[in-house]
Structures are given as C-alpha cells and as structure tokens.
Amino acid sequence: MNKPLPNSLRQGPDARGRFGDFGGRFVAETLMPLILEVEAAYEASKKDAAFQTEWRRLLTHYVGRPSPLWYAERLTTHLRKTAEPGKGAKVYFKRDELNHTGAHKINAVLGQILLAKKMGKTRIIAETGAGQHGVATATACALMDLPCVVYMGATDVERQQPNVFRMKLLGAEVVPVTSGAATLKDAMNEGLRDWVANVHDTYYCIGTVAGPHPYPAMVRDFQSVIGTEARAQMLEAEGRLPDVLVAAVGGGSNAMGLFFPFLDDKDVAMVGVEAAGRGLDTHEHAAALSRGRPGVLHGNRTYLLQDGDGQITEAHSISAGLDYPGVGPEHSWLHEIGRVQYVGATDEEALAAFQLCSRQEGIIPALEPAHALAHVIKAAPTMPAESIILMNLCGRGDKDIFTVAKHLGENI
Amino acid sequence: MSRIAAKFAALRQEGRGALVTYLQAFDPDRETYRAILHGLPAAGADIIEVGVPFTDPMADGPSIQKAGQRALKAGATAAGVLDLVRSLRTLDDTTPVVLMGYYNPILTYGVEAFCKDAASAGADGLIIVDVPPEEADEVEPHATANGLDLIRLIAPTTDEARLPRVLAATTGFIYYVAITGITGTRSADYASMAPTIAKLKRHTDLPVAIGFGIRSPAQAAEAAKAADGAVVGTALVDTLAASLDPEGRATPDTVTKVLAQVSSLAEAVRAARKVAA
C-alpha cells in the first residue's frame, strides 16, 4: 500500500482502462468488439480538430458555456453567523445548473452523440436516474435528428414525472424498467441488454463516469470542461485556487469533471459527497465508497453496495440521480489513494440545504448538488474566513419540486 | 482426460452432438432444483450448465432474470451451488458440469478459493459471462491450477482479428452465441449455421456448442448437427416457471415437466446423426 504516488494523478487510465485496481472492461463477448470500437473512435476524436471545434461550438452557442462562477455572498454571510470569529469560508458556486437542459449532463452527451455520428451509428440509447441525463440525451438526439430510447427505472419514472414528459416532448421513447428495485442500476442493466441486441446500429450514451472503459475516461474528459473553466475563473476572481472543491457523487460525473483539472494542485483539497439517505449506519443509503467494497458491476471494478455473497444491494436516496449502488472507478482509486475525501449527506440534510440555497441565493438547486451543499454548510463555518470553497452546483431543482413538496407536506 | 473432453470424444464416436442444458441453481428452491439436477443425466442431458444466481445478469433476458430472483429469494449462494454439484457427484461421475454466471459473486467468494472448491465439488468448467479474455488474467491461473476449463462465448460480433485471442483463452469447448442479443429473446436459423461453425473450426480443435434462442427439439437437433452441441436454457426455465403456483413455489409437476422436456430435446439431438467429417 506504500506505493509512491505518480508524478501526475491525471495520467489514468492505463491501456486496460484501469485506475489503479479499478475500472477495466468487464463485459460479455458480444459487446467487447464494440467497446474496442468506441475506444478507437474516441481516441481518434481527441486528435480530430473538426470534432473538437464542433463540440466547442455546441458548448458555447447551444449549452451556454462557460457557466458562471458565482460568489454566494449571502450564503457565506449566513454561514458565518454560526461560525467563530475569523471563521467561515467564502463559498463559490460553479453554476452548471444554468446549462441548457438544466444540468452538467449535456456536456458529455453532446460529445458522445457527435462521436456516435462519427461512428456511423443511427440509434441512441441511454439510461437515466433523475432524468437529467435522459433529457440531455433526448435533447442532443432531437438536435442531431437521431432516434433515442431512454431506459428509466419505473420508480424513477414515478418520482421524476416532469423529466419524463420533457423527454417525450423531445421525441424520445422512455421505457420504464420494472426489474430489481426499478431504479438507475436496473435501467443501466436494461441499457446494456438493448445494446447487446442492437450493436450494429446503436450507440449507448452512458451518463456517468462508470461502465466499461473507455466510458469512465471519456465522460470525465468531456465533463472536465467544468473544472477547466472553474480553475481559470477562480484565478481571475480571487487570484488563487480554491482551498476545497465540493461535489455530489452518485456515479460521479459532475465531481470528476470539477476535480480532474485540479488533481495535481496539491493545495486544493477535494470532497465528494455521497447520498447517505436515511443515514450511513442504516441500510438505506447510496454511499458506495463510505460503506461498500470493491466488486464488478456494469463493466467495471469499483466500490459497490453489496451483501456478503457479492449480490448487489439496493441503494436509497431522496435524489434519484444519486440512487446508484456503485460509483465511477476513478473515484474508487482517488478514495483509496486518499486524494479525495468522501463523506455523506442525508436526505434530511439535503432537503434543508435545498431550501437554504433557494432562500439565500435565489437558486433552487437540484437535490443532487443539495447534497454537496449540505457538506458545505457543515464545513464552511469550521474554515478560516479567508479560505475558499468551490462547489459544483451541477443541476437545477425544477425537476425536484414535486419530491420536495411531498417531503415538506405541501400539496402542489 | 477431463469429463468435458471425454464426453465430446464419446459423442464423436456415437456420431452425434451434445445436449447442453442450463437451469439456475436454487430455482425455484434448493430441493426442487436438486431433484432436477439429479434427474438431468438420465433424462438425456449430456453436459449440465449450472447457473450461479446474480442480482444483475446483464446478458440475460427476462426469463433468466426472474429465475435469478427466485433463486436468490430461495437463499442461493455460491457455496450452496457448489454443495448441489457435490451432491450430483455422489450419483454421477461422468456428466460434465459447467458453472455459468457473473464475476462479482465469484470475486466475493475469492477467485482462488472458488476455483479450488468448484473443482473439489466436481465441477469441470466455468463460464464467467462478464470476464472477457482482456480481464481473464486474474482467473486463468486458478482455473488452470484446479483443472477447470474456461469456456468462452464467441459472438457474431467477434471478428476475425479478435477470434484468435478469444480462442487462445478458451478450453473445454466453445459456446457460440447464435444471435446478437440477450438470452431467450429470439432464435436463429440453426440449420444454416454449419458454414459459420466450419469457419470457426479452421481456427480451433475445440468442440463448439451453439446456444441462445434454441427452444424446440427440432432447433436443438439442427444446432447439434451444425456444430458439436446445442445449449438450451430459457426454454427449460420457462417450462419450470410455468409449472409454479401463483406464489412462485414448486408444484408436483415442476420436476417432471422440466425433465420431460429435457427428454424430448435429447431424443431429437440423438436422432440427428452428424455427417462424418
């Protein structure tokens, strides 16, 4: 365990798609040739100037990037009220909730759909939990005139009705998945099953930094636009880098996108916030890193919630987007080498943060970044007043108002 | 000679292909499955695939997904599955047993311990669906050390460039996946597959069994004739499922109906003589 750290933490994955022991390509033979094809196409796209130019054009003129960096001054002041004198970090938000479609997901989706077109694929499939990735994929498919099928757990279809309707408006077919607990994990199984049956014409647009290689690296690279922008914006705003980065972690794409460009900045600490559901010491949470152990699921080796026999257990979170028993393999590696600290925030803490953010900043956050904010609320008052926290506000809360209203006992 | 090699050699002498059956261990419960397992050789199964249940069977269709859920509800564990294989070996020492499943339960058991215990229980081979040759280095040494064959799936998508690598990592026999898709969803024209199999055989001396989508005795006979064996899984699982009561429990019909179907498949496979090569 005392292996020296490499000079850069941004070199992974290796040729086998591994980040340390994590990642890889654990898929059935039918998919293997296609996974290799996606990898080759992705590697080629990195050097393809026309591809990069088109993706950047879409990010600028369609998504609305760069997203702003916002100094959350009222929230900072509010949190200082409970802090000792001289304490209370400055809180900044990276506002990816302002992206077209309302979350960071669109960044990687546009890259992947361009790739699919380049590969000559004519049909797109995706899995979705909260529906943000499904909406982003349906959006990109509408823009690029491709048929789109989105697999979504029946439980999530129920609790994310606005996004289901959005996807339908955008022309996508939403298929409710009833196997297992009918949430994100089961939707991903169904996506993989569809892909196996339709490899000849179909591209599987994965929404997070998980799945078989090259997906974890590819989705991370596309999402790294978040961290790259934030790094430059922070230097401009404060003349220095932040002290701590905070992001919610389900599969972990918004967190990888923020963290990756800072990994070699040794003075920048990083905190990934998993969904602690009803509490980390209950059986109802989605904290794969805090309470799981390594295993193999959905094409990669990573930390998983599982029982003593290696059967995958159901995750729980108020946030459909964090309700996943695994986590991207690069997070597992960053956890094991200690570069990123992973903590939990409960449903209740996320709900409180959701409301606080709405009132203090006039920003209704999605329940996913509300988990990150719940940690910021705990951490900021303990830090010196001159320190800086940068949090990824990766999605907006329009989709969650029904869930939140229900929890607050309001009828809307 | 391993049980698998001996079986294919004996069938070659007989001039016919093998009937390979798949059911999931503990489906619908341990004792009903045990009765089926013990009855399979006499019903005509030449090779027995024992499904090791997993919560997230990514390559399987709805029938086998549900079988897995029934099995897990009935308390299936990897150790429990090995106990069932061990119990078969007290009655039958020649019918090859292949354990088929996904990697995570094996990883949790411990790959080395699993290979050792599987071999000592009397299993002859492993099919680990989500461990392609690229990831097999942590399994191969332990399988080899314990005399277990690593049977691999070759799919219609496996191209010429990739084929040698997959074949090099395969022992026992080759499981040719007849369709691009998951188990039990659609069928192929098995009679027309002889040229595909012949092409495959230019690269290997291993026997080839065809699977995915084989439901009827006629299809099994066609596949066994086109190759060296036919794998039937979902059709048997469907028969088992149809025999259960509304609560998903076994009925007095469960064992007899499944074994009767195996007999009719076996009869067709045995009647399909292979043309001498």
Interchain pair A32, B54: CB under 8 A: no
CB contacts of B65 in chain A (<8 Å) are: 179
Is-contact B218 B232, C-beta < 8 A?
no
Is the pLDDT at A61 greater than 90? The verdict is: yes
Mean pLDDT, rounded, for A246-258:
97
CB contacts of A309 in chain B (<8 Å) are: 77-78, 105, 108-109
Of A28, A185, A310, the CB nearest to B59: A28
Chain B contacts to A (CB-CB under 8 A): 53-62, 65, 72, 77-78, 102-109, 129-132, 134-135, 152-159, 162, 166, 177, 179-182, 185
Report helix, strand or coil for A92.
Answer: strand
Disruptive mutation site among A123, A296, A302 for chain B (greatest number of B CBs within 10 Å): A296
Interchain pair A196, B77: CB under 8 A: no
Mean pLDDT, rounded, for A12-34:
96
CB neighbourhood size of A174 (10 A): 20
Disruptive mutation site among B182, B183, B187, B200 for chain A (greatest number of A CBs within 10 Å): B182
> Is the bond into A13 cis (omega within 30 degrees of 0)?
yes
CB contacts of B134 in chain A (<8 Å) are: 16, 24-25, 32
Predicted-complex ipTM score: 0.95
CA-based nearest distance B55→chain A, Å: 6
Q: What percent of chain A has pLDDT over 90?
A: 92
Looking at every residue in chain B, the average pLDDT score rounds to 95
CB contacts of B62 in chain A (<8 Å) are: 179
Mean pLDDT, rounded, for B208-236:
96
Q: Which residue in B85, B98, B62 sits closest to B237, CA to CA?
A: B62
CA-based nearest distance B263→chain A, Å: 31
Which pLDDT tens digit goes with each residue over A263-298? 999 999 999 999 999 999 999 999 999 999 999 999
Which pLDDT tens digit goes with each residue over A254-269? 999 999 999 999 999 9
Which pLDDT tens digit goes with each residue over A295-354? 999 999 999 999 999 999 999 999 988 989 999 999 999 999 999 999 999 999 999 999
The distance from CA B200 to its chain's CA centroid, rounded to whole angstroms, is 20
CA angle A175, A181, A184 (to 5 degrees): 55
Is-contact A289 A335, C-beta < 8 A?
yes
The pLDDT of residue A183 is 84
Is the pLDDT at A158 greater than 90? The verdict is: no
Q: Which residues of B are catalytic?
A: 49, 60
Question: Is the minimum CB–CB distance between A389 and chain B shorter than 8 Å?
Answer: no
Question: Is the minimum CB–CB distance between A175 and chain B shorter than 8 Å?
Answer: no
Q: What percent of chain B has pLDDT over 70?
A: 99
Interchain pair B180, A196: CB under 8 A: yes
Cα A208 from Cα A105, distance rounded (Å): 8
Q: What is the CA radius of gyration of chain B?
A: 17
Mean pLDDT, rounded, for A11-20:
96
Nearest CA in chain A to B180: A197
Residue B197 makes CB contacts below 8 A (sequence gap 6+) with: B176, B208, B210, B226, B227
Ordered by start, the domain boundaries in chain A are 18-62+105-215, 66-102+224-408
Interchain pair A309, B77: CB under 8 A: yes
Report helix, strand or coil for B96.
Answer: coil
Disruptive mutation site among B82, B134, B170 for chain A (greatest number of A CBs within 10 Å): B134
Mean pLDDT, rounded, for A39-62:
98
Structural domains for chain B? 3-271 (3.20.20.70)
DSSP count for chain B of H helices, then E strands: 12, 9
CB contacts of A312 in chain B (<8 Å) are: 55-56, 104
Nearest CA in chain A to B54: A311
Q: With bands split at pLDDT 50, 70 and 90, how would you rate the model's confidence at B277?
A: very low
Is the pLDDT at B160 greater than 90? The verdict is: no
Of B108, B132, B158, the CB nearest to A25: B132
Is the pLDDT at B86 greater than 90? The verdict is: yes
Tokens of A255: 């967190």
CA-based nearest distance A187→chain B, Å: 11
CA-based nearest distance B93→chain A, Å: 28
Number of A/B CB contacts below 8 angstroms equals 119
Domain A66-102+224-408 CATH class label: alpha beta
The pLDDT of residue B1 is 85
A2-11, B50-59, B124-133, B192-201: the lowest-pLDDT one: A2-11
Of A25, A193, A309, the CB nearest to B105: A309
CB contacts of B155 in chain A (<8 Å) are: 28-30, 33
Is-contact A128 A151, C-beta < 8 A?
yes
Q: With bands split at pLDDT 50, 70 and 90, how would you rate the model's confidence at A1?
A: very low
CA-based nearest distance B15→chain A, Å: 30
The pLDDT of residue B71 is 98
Question: Is the minimum CB–CB distance between A296 and chain B shorter than 8 Å?
Answer: yes
Which pLDDT tens digit goes with each residue over A166-217? 999 999 999 999 987 788 899 999 999 999 999 999 999 999 999 999 999 9
Question: Is the minimum CB–CB distance between A14 and chain B shorter than 8 Å?
Answer: no
The pLDDT of residue A365 is 98
Q: With bands split at pLDDT 50, 70 and 90, how would you rate the model's confidence at B275?
A: low
Cα B239 from Cα B243, distance rounded (Å): 6
Cα A359 from Cα A363, distance rounded (Å): 8
Q: Residue A66 to residues A69, A97, A227, A369: CA-CA distances in angstroms? A: 9, 12, 11, 19
Interchain pair A295, B104: CB under 8 A: yes
Mean pLDDT, rounded, for B61-76:
96
Of A29, A185, A310, the CB nearest to B132: A29
Is-contact B263 B40, C-beta < 8 A?
no
CA-based nearest distance B267→chain A, Å: 31
Question: Is the minimum CB–CB distance between A210 and chain B shorter than 8 Å?
Answer: no
Report helix, strand or coil for A12.
Answer: coil
Mean pLDDT, rounded, for A369-395:
98
Disruptive mutation site among B24, B52, B56 for chain A (greatest number of A CBs within 10 Å): B56
Question: Is the minimum CB–CB distance between A28 and chain B shorter than 8 Å?
Answer: yes
Mean pLDDT, rounded, for A33-62:
97
Interchain pair B104, A298: CB under 8 A: no
Of A25, A33, A309, the CB nearest to B108: A309
The pLDDT of residue A4 is 53
Domains A18-62+105-215 and A66-102+224-408 are alike in CATH topology = yes
Is the pLDDT at A367 greater than 50? The verdict is: yes
Nearest CA in chain B to A25: B135
CB contacts of B154 in chain A (<8 Å) are: 29
A351: left (phi over 0), alpha (psi -120 to 50) or beta: alpha
CA-based nearest distance A193→chain B, Å: 6
DSSP at A61: I
Cα A293 from Cα B7, distance rounded (Å): 41
Cα B138 from Cα B144, distance rounded (Å): 11
Q: H or E segment at B24?
A: strand B18-24
Interchain pair A29, B158: CB under 8 A: yes
Domain A18-62+105-215 CATH class label: alpha beta
CA-based nearest distance A175→chain B, Å: 15
Is-contact B68 B58, C-beta < 8 A?
no
A229: left (phi over 0), alpha (psi -120 to 50) or beta: alpha
Interchain pair B134, A16: CB under 8 A: yes
CA-based nearest distance B65→chain A, Å: 8
